[in-house]
Amino acid sequence: MASTTKLMTAYVTLHRLALNKFLVAPPYHPIPGESLLGLKAGERMSVRDLLYGLLLPSGNDSAVTLADGVAGSTPAFVGEMNRAARRLGLRGTSFANPVGLDEPGNYSSPLDLAKLALRLRRERVFRRIVDTKRATLKTGAHPRRIVNRNDLVLEVPWINGVKTGYTLDAGHVLVGSGTRKGVTLLSVVMGAPSISARDADTLGLLRYGFSLYRRQTPVSEGETLAHRTVPNGDRRLSLVAGRTIRATVRRGQRLDVRVDAPRSVRAPIGRGERIGGAIVTVGDETVGRTPLLAGHTVSVAGGESLAGRVDDALPGPRAVAWAAVAAGVVMILIGIGALLARRRRG
């Protein structure tokens, strides 16, 4: 799994250390070709900046510094990584180091990497880091300008993560994520022969996933969703939606609009009066709610008022409509006053 190993390094760190804590970099002796942040032994850096150095340029020295800061040593930290994997149900995963170098006992599966990345995406700071194109780290011995090694974050507007990896044995690896149509999807590519193949396969997976979704507007503001009887009224009552609800629906999912309002209502009822509510669900998930409002005035049978008839004739929400009427009356009175003043002057 190469440097996607660092997803677990980040997970354990986020659950054990405060972001503003400073850690001291231990001595680190890389082999040729390792990705590094360039920390010197004894250099102090905040956990937040170390996480940026871990996840963007994929610094192995950042990983070892975090491991020592959490557990006191790399072997102890690896033990915590494996315990966390068992808690998260990652049955096809084992860790032998916190950086992702090829080593017996350091492996994972696409399913497990997806589970881990989805769990990490619950953390706001993680989402922010992996969706960063470039950053300047200021807490080390000198400022460092770093760039995200995930080319898709740099080039594709809707891609927002997550982590790349490469070793000779693993090939090119990318756990990717993107957000479109109001939904976020995750992909995992392992063992790709090149960066271009890795990125193309990631985009292919995500585009296929998004093709299964569509945006719908199950409820529009002002739309009549139900009717209710008014036993003492002069007519039935229409219940209209107070606001628009939009939803993203996956192919095969069921979208429902459920009305929650009394079966009958007593008059008098003013237009715009809240009577109940409506809930929109996709599958088992609630995706939106709206108040249900009286679509018109209902007077007591045989006693409809002039105000009620005027109210029904006015477009738009009741309060806004009557405010417009009041403004119009005021303007008329001002005009009459101005006319009378001119006549008096004449």
Q: Which residues are catalytic?
A: 3, 6, 58
Q: For 153-193, where are the E strands, in sequence order? A: 159-167, 171-180, 183-192
268, 273, 274, 280: CA torsion to nearest 10: 120
C-alpha–C-alpha distance, residues 268 and 76, integer Å: 73
C-alpha–C-alpha distance, residues 237 and 226, integer Å: 8
Rounded to whole angstroms, the maximal C-alpha distance in the chain is 104
Q: Which two tokens stand for residue 299?
A: 């007077």
CB-CB contact of 62 with 10 (8 Å):
no
C-alpha–C-alpha distance, residues 87 and 98, integer Å: 18
Alpha-carbon 42 to chain mean position: 38
